[in-house]
Amino acid sequence: MSQHDQPIKENTYIESLSEQERINKLREVMKPLWKPGFSTAAHGTSMHVADSIITNGLRANVFLLDSTAIPLLTGAASYEEEPDSVFKQVLHWQHRDYKCIIIIQIPNPDPAKNEGGMNYFNRILEELPDDKKIKEGIPGVDVSYVIQPKFIQGYINVENLSFVKNPAYDESAKIPPPKAPKEWAEHIPLNENASEKPKLESGQTVATNNFDPTDPNNWVW
């Protein structure tokens, strides 16, 4: 039996719960996931690929975290202050109503280094070697990046409201240093006063001053 399977009796019990009871149960399940100093993102998928993702990593088409994941916890002052909307989002996943939610934990940037903003969070995406890429010849369709398992805490099984831990998750893992992939300049939004996209040299980033990773408004996903 797969680690995300549970007896039918357990699923029947979950189905008998009211919406608020399911939210309360999910609050208990997700409490260990709340970590000060980290930002939490999530990716919905199907059960049959969940174990593969926590083993091999989450692959993405482009060097944009928001192309494959959305912010989950809001960074409230305490876990108890997280609103019910966070848990409703998991119970009723907006994309295809997926029942398996991959949890990605990202260490927040060091304010002293002035490296915040989405450029920092995008760096969790590692460019795959050429022989590991899936090339369709269509921009945005080719699979060229991966979020390594060390950043994936595990996944939530929505059907039985359980959490499956990823043994490869490493809380001490650090975001890789700046490196500009070939497509990066194409995805950097224009400054409203700029006439052209900024040109990046190898190793450069576009920093956002005073970025607060605990403010969900700064995660424009």
pLDDT digits (tens, 9 = 90+) for 123-181: 999 999 988 888 877 666 789 999 999 999 999 999 999 999 999 999 999 998 886 55
CA–CA–CA angle 42, 43, 49 (5° rounding): 135
Tokens of 17: 């719960």
63 in any annotated domain = yes
107 in any annotated domain = yes
Q: What is the pLDDT of residue 58?
A: 96
Please report which confidence band the pLDDT of residue 8 belongs to, taking 50, 70 and 90 as the band edges: low
Q: What is the pLDDT of residue 139?
A: 64
Helix orientation angle between 84-91 and 19-30, rounded to the nearest 10 degrees? 100
Please report which confidence band the pLDDT of residue 33 belongs to, taking 50, 70 and 90 as the band edges: very high
Q: Tell me the per-residue pLDDT of 44-98, one tens digit each, with 9 for 90 and over.
A: 999 989 999 999 999 999 999 999 999 998 777 899 999 999 999 999 999 999 9
Q: What is the pLDDT of residue 76?
A: 77
CA–CA–CA angle 163, 169, 174 (5° rounding): 135
Residue 88 Cα to chain centre, angstroms: 17
49 in any annotated domain = yes
**pTM reported for the whole predicted model:** 0.76
Q: Which residues contact 142 (CB under 8 A, 6 or more apart)?
A: 61, 133, 134, 135, 136
197 in any annotated domain = no
62 in any annotated domain = yes
Structural domain of residue 104, as residue ranges?
8-179
Q: Which residue type, as a one-letter code, is found at position 171?
A: E
pLDDT at 215 over 80: no
111-119 average pLDDT score:
83
34 in any annotated domain = yes
> Which carries the bigger pLDDT value, residue 30 or residue 177?
30
Per the listing, tokens 């029942």 go with 99
pLDDT at 217 over 60: no
SS3 11: helix
Q: What is the pLDDT of residue 132?
A: 85
State residue 135 phi and psi, 5-degree precision. Answer: -110, 115
C-beta separation of 89 from 154 below 8 A: no
Query: Other C-beta atoms within 10 Å of 202: how many?
Result: 7
Q: What is the pLDDT of residue 140?
A: 61
Q: What is the pLDDT of residue 108?
A: 92
132 in any annotated domain = yes
Number of domains in the chain: 1
Q: What is the pLDDT of residue 10?
A: 66
Strand ranges for the chain from DSSP E: 38-45, 58-60, 70-71, 100-107, 125-127, 145-147, 152-157, 162-165
210 in any annotated domain = no
CA torsion angle for 134, 98, 153, 88 (degrees, to 10)?
140
CA distance 152 to 136: 27
